[in-house]
Structure 1
Amino acid sequence: MKKKILIGSGVLVVAVVGFVLNTLMAAGTFRKINPHYHGKCDAVTGVVGVEDITIDPDSGFAYLSSHDRRTWAKTGEAEGDIFLYRPGSLATPLAMPHDYEGSFHPHGISLWLDATGPDRLMVVNHPNSADAGGMPLSQVEIFEVGPARLTHIRTVKTDGPYSLNDVVATGPETFYASIDKGSETKLGRSLESYLRLSRGGIAYGDEHGMRRVEGGLVYPNGIQWDGVHLYVAETTGRRLLKFKPSETPMELTLVAEDNLNTALDNLEWDADGNLWIGAHPQTLKFVEHAKDAANRSPSQVLKATLADGGFDLQEVYLNDGDPISGSSVAAPYAGRMLIGSVFDPFILDCKL
């Protein structure tokens, strides 16, 4: 009996050690960081926590999603803003006035360019709420874009208590959004992240509301649309996924996937139809950076070219946590690249 117990205990220890090692490897803990970039980058201050960036290819202006998450975590009070910035100008970004009356904590954003009417900006918002049950509320705000001003059109709420991360517009009233975590409790969300549980998914929104339409994803984060296919980046799952709607927008079929061996964040298009990805090559260092700004987290930018059955990958930028820590987005435009991060009080404006 004792022998069986010892054997069973040994098997359990081996299994636990194996799982821990696998988790550390997946998190990039043993990865060697060799910083490189062939261009010049300048820090642009006046904004904090620019988690997402999207650029209007017609006007050349970039929209920056800004929120001071460290202050928000400490005090529960820190409103965010959408800023306007022209790549290459190195000027202080300008906060866009808006008429939204609730608490505004912007996360992922997406711009819809309308040939027949005003453009729209869609913003994932996590408003304060005493009824959230420990989970930050998630909803999508739709704004009409005017001359240096945003006019709030409507709020689209989720059909369940899940956490939204990013959004991509598919029309002036329609969008897909990534559901990074499906658990309702703080413990459950932590287990999702560390155990890489497949409880994330995709939601679809229109004038009738928002519904969960796809599940079984591992911390889906960035999301993009090319008019035919939907692209989703997983953070702890490390995959870049390609979906095609079937009979309706709410029926998605997975048509391609690649494991990119890094924690993927937001996705942005370039003029040639390539996806640029802000990424976290060492995710546990990013966790420590979230706790303390002094703990720096490596930043990475990838360029994914669409290929048959998957994606060809190029690493454009890599640092060891300086000058920018915890990169979440890279937006290219006209020979420039803007890099934003979840916490740092600036963006990088880089010459490609």
Structure 2
Amino acid sequence: MSGYRCFPPKNRLKASREVESVDLPSCRLIKGIEAGAEDIDILPNGLAFFSVGLKFPGLHSFAPDKPGGILLMDLNEEKPKAKELRISRGFNLASFNPHGISTFIDSDDTVYLFVVNHPDFKNTVEIFKFEEEENSLLHLKTIRHELLPSVNDVIAVGPAHFYATNDHYFTDPFLKYLETFLNLHWTNVVYYSPNEVKLVAEGFDSANGINMSPDKKYIYVADVLAHEIHVLEKQPNMNLTQVKVLQLDTLVDNLSIDPSSGDIWVGCHPNGQKLFVYDPSNPPSSEVLRIQNILSEKPLVTTVYANNGSVLQGSSVATVYDGILLIGTLYHRALYCEL
């Protein structure tokens, strides 16, 4: 919201909400992450990718002059460390500004990493091939499209196929502000493939995190300013039809899926006002929710972790692997916890 210090009405930002601490027995901050790990995606073998260093108009940054990057952590190691992945020559690293990420494993075991990128605050989706032996990413393709004006997150469904959320309809900063302030509900989900690009769901206040059920039948979309998670059914032609909406009492950011149980893990912002108006003496808090049986009549919603900002500020993602919980943030640190 560059230049416009006006925000959505306070009820949509949950501006008066404070959190009660919910601690886990064993948590430590991850070394080397000081300026945000907005999204995290874990491969079935325990390799975790972190999207770090996001810079966004209107948001605080602890490293405004440092480009973003992708870090890798092997969760099978005794004391795993996050290491930056090298990116192939020819890719513009100086303007790399990664946001939402998603991995896809092809039938030949090739691992593709999809990254929402905002070079110079524009919108692209980058596709990389992960080369594990070299600890590097080979850049394959940059995707720009008029239906992807304000991309927030992606879920890969093929080697060059994905669903993406747009968190605004407009690209102009003033129109973006107006759209949010007027609560237009014009944001959407787009399906992209090399052969077809189309709008597949719309009417969200601010579509944010997106993910898919383990059986690949359902797509989940977080609507951050409406405090909702939408469950959409995937059709054979890749269109999405709404099944249900789960209302929550917090601003829901990225969604991660536990592949074994199908549980949804959500990084949340209990108080959105503190995110935009950064005050080090009263920082944004963090909250992690676990949602079990979302398709049932009464899904079970549990607060697994909550902190007033004294340890972790602005949690944007939470994801699990083999008894380990990783929590990332918009612009602060990241946490490694044992469940």
CA shift in 2, pair 1:68/1:265, >3 Å: closer
Correspondence list, 1:1-352, <5 A: 23-47=9-33, 48-58=35-45, 60-67=46-53, 69=55, 77-87=65-75, 89-99=78-88, 101-102=91-92, 103-128=95-120, 136-147=121-132, 148-160=135-147, 162-208=149-195, 210-226=197-213, 227-249=216-238, 251-270=239-258, 271-289=260-278, 293=280, 295-305=282-292, 306-309=294-297, 311-344=299-332, 346-352=333-339
Q: What is the Cα deviation at residue 224 of structure 1? A: 0.4
1:285 to partner: Cα distance: 1.2
1:118-175 Cα offsets, whole Å, 9 max, x none, are 11111101112xxxxxxx3211111111112111111121224620000001112211
8 Å contact from structure 2 (residues 208, 254) kept in 1: yes
2:38–2:51 CA contact under 8 A, matched in 1 = yes
Q: Once the 2 structures are TM-superposed, how far is the Cα of residue 197 of structure 1 from its aligned partner?
A: 2.8
Instruction: State the secondary structure of the residue aligned to 1:45.
Output: coil
Is the Cα–Cα contact under 8 Å of residues 297 and 321 in structure 1 kept in the other structure? yes
Kindly tell me the number of residue pairs found equivalent between the two proteins: 319
Alpha-carbon distance in 2 for matches of 1:57, 1:320: 32
Aligned partners of 1:197 and 1:312: how far apart in 2?
30
Q: CA deviation at 1:209?
A: 6.3
Whichever structure has more helix as a proportion of its residues is 1
Q: For the residues of structure 2 that align with 1:152 and 1:295, how far apart are their CA atoms?
A: 40
8 Å CA contact 1:50–1:340 kept in 2: the answer is yes
Q: Deviations for 1:3-50, whole angstroms, at most 9, x for unmatched residues?
A: xxxxxxxxxxxxxxxxxxx94334223334211123221011212311
Give the unaligned 5+ runs of structure 2. 1-7
Q: Which has the larger radius of gyration?
A: 1
- How far is 1:190 from its partner? 2.0
Counterparts of 1:266 and 1:272, CA distance in 2: 18
SS in 2 for 1:324: coil
SS at match of 1:308: coil
Contact 1:329–1:341 under 8 Å retained in 2: yes
Distance 1:94-1:155 versus aligned 2 partners, 3 A rule: same
- Per-residue Cα deviation, 1:73-128 (whole angstroms, up to 9, x for no partner): 88975321110013375544111111251232110000112232411111101112
2: CA distance, partners of 1:311 / 1:350: 24
Q: How many angstroms apart in 1 are the aligned matches of 2:149 and 2:178?
A: 15
Distance 1:232 1:333, change over 3 A: same
Could you tell me the TM-score, scaled by structure 2's length? 0.87
> Is the 8 Å Cα contact of residues 18 and 270 (structure 2) preserved in structure 1?
no
Task: For residues 303-341 of structure 1, give each alpha carbon's deviation from its aligned partner in whole angstroms, at most 9, with x where no partner exists.
Answer: 011232563211111111120100000111111111111
Deviates more, 1:276-285 or 1:109-118: 109-118
Q: What is the CA deviation profile of residues 237-279 of structure 1, one whole-angstrom value per residue up to 9, with x for unaligned ones?
A: 1110011133511x22101111112100001111311010000
Q: Distance in 2 between matches of 1:244 and 1:336?
A: 29
Shift of 1:211: 3.6
Q: Secondary structure at the match of 1:286?
A: helix
1:37 maps to amino acid: D
TM normalised by structure 1 equals: 0.84
Contact 1:157 1:209 in 2 (8 A): no
- Aligned CA RMSD, in angstroms, stands at 2.4
> Quick one: higher RCO (CA 8 Å, sep 6+), 1 or 2?
2
Distance 1:73 1:275 in 2: 28
Distance 2:56 2:78 in 1: 28
Deviation at 1:70, TM superposition (A): 7.7
Percent sequence identity over matched residues?
Answer: 30
Question: Hey, what's the Cα distance between the residues in 1 that align with 2:145 and 2:64?
Answer: 22
